[in-house]
Amino acid sequence: MIEKEEEFIDVEAGGENSELFEHFRIVVDKGQAQLRVDLFLMNRIENISRNKIQQTAKAGNILVNSKVVKSNYRIKPGDLITVVFTYPPRIVEIFPENIPLEIVYEDKYLLVVNKQPDLVVHPGHGNFTGTLLHALMYHFEKTGQTIENKHGYLVHRIDKDTSGLLLVAKDELSQTRLAKQFFDHTIERRYHALVWGGFEEDNGTITGHIGRSVRDRKVMAVYEDGTYGREAVTHYTVLQRFGYVTLVECKLETGRTHQIRVHFKHIGHPLFNDTWYGGDTIIKGTTFTKYKQFIENCFKILPRQALHAKSLGFVHPITNKKMHFESELPADFKQVVDKWEVYTSSRETE
């Protein structure tokens, strides 16, 4: 018996929080003869090379009965095999482009980028140039680095219009080990989001399976009964209250496509100016003309969803050192938060 679980979406649909891996769960048949696990997987999984399987085993991503095994382990009937493979996006030919990047950390195995808004992570339908991977190829060539695939190995993605920290591996082994951390939910990711409406509580948790909307395949939806989609959990903490909107910090327990955006939409608090999930209209507030103008000005300053990947924590795939990075809100996001602070204080003094 073989079960497959994967997370992959095209760049046209965004990519927020989506990991680039696929997970297989296989129970060895009763009549199966003893065989090396790498050969067994080659026979069971389509379009997979022995080298890819051995690399996956070297990274510790092949487990039998919940224990990491080497590629030469001989399987037995009844064994439960779980495998996490890295799953590269469908990438067209890439050439270097001189696109400014803010690299907050780099060593010979990986780098962390503070991605600016309006930058697509990798090429896809309608976005064949001007992506993060084009910029990385230019960076590697300019700095004299020899990277096997020339543009680095993606571990996860964030949306074009979401700013913040993004992790990129420089070799396949590092990518595979980091992918396992994402699969095990040991990667720490915190986001700051400005959402519509107020909250009585200071903390909360949003749950509900996330899957493609049956009405619009470009967006995601929450399915509370769990009959469709994949389990998703978002924890949030209120940072600042502005009456009609709230600044929150979100901690991801899972990493589903558009998780934060669709979860907050589901509970009636869509992200400020999120055009895909209904946050680009006035949801809370007064009917005064001045208020409408204030919101329109905020939308002009921040012409995207108010979401920023604030912090990122992980274990280094080679040195096993704990790594943690923080980033400041970008100028457009911070300016809107500042405007809401002034607006709220002026209302309190009236």
Residue 203 has φ and ψ, to the nearest 5°, of -140, 155
The CATH number that applies at residue 245 is 3.30.2350.10
Structure tokens at 300: 């002009």
- Of residues 28 and 135, more confidence is placed in 135
Structure tokens at 268: 């009636």
Contacts of 190 (CB under 8 A, 6+ apart): 249, 250, 251, 252, 310, 311
Q: What positions carry a catalytic annotation?
A: 159
Residue 10 pLDDT > 50: no
Distance between CA 105 and CA 111 in Å, rounded?
5
- Of residues 240 and 179, more confidence is placed in 240
Is residue 114 situated within a structural domain?
no
Q: Domain boundary at 47, 64, 85, which?
A: 85
Same domain, 75 and 196: no
Is residue 111 situated within a structural domain?
no
Same domain, 70 and 219: no
Q: Measuring CA to CA, how many Å separate 14 from each of 5, 155, 160? A: 20, 15, 7
Q: Domain boundary at 65, 85, 105, which?
A: 85
- Kindly indicate the confidence band of residue 15, based on its pLDDT and cuts at 50, 70 and 90: very low
Q: Measuring CA to CA, how many Å separate 97 from each of 53, 100, 338? A: 33, 9, 34
Same domain, 197 and 339: yes
Is residue 222 situated within a structural domain?
yes
The CATH number that applies at residue 36 is 3.10.290.10
Summarize the confidence of residues 249-276 as an average pLDDT: 94
Is residue 265 situated within a structural domain?
yes
Across the chain, mean pLDDT equals 88
Same domain, 193 and 342: yes
Is residue 173 situated within a structural domain?
no
Domain membership of residue 34 as a residue range: 21-85
- Of residues 174 and 125, more confidence is placed in 174
How many domains, in total, are found in the chain? 2
Q: Domain boundary at 33, 57, 85, which?
A: 85
Q: How do strand 103-106 and strand 67-68 relate by DSSP bridges?
A: unpaired
Is residue 66 situated within a structural domain?
yes
pLDDT the model gives residue 5: 43
Is residue 218 situated within a structural domain?
yes
Summarize the confidence of residues 37-60 as an average pLDDT: 83
Residue 29 pLDDT > 90: no
Helices 37-44 and 50-58 pack at an angle, to 10 degrees, of: 130
Burial (0-12, 13-18, 19+ Cβ within 10 Å), 108: exposed
pLDDT the model gives residue 19: 55
Of 62, 128, 64, 119, nearest in space to 92 by CA: 128
Contacts of 94 (CB under 8 A, 6+ apart): 123, 131, 133, 134, 137, 150, 151
Q: Measuring CA to CA, how many Å separate 348 from each of 177, 290, 330, 342? A: 51, 16, 27, 10
Is residue 171 situated within a structural domain?
no
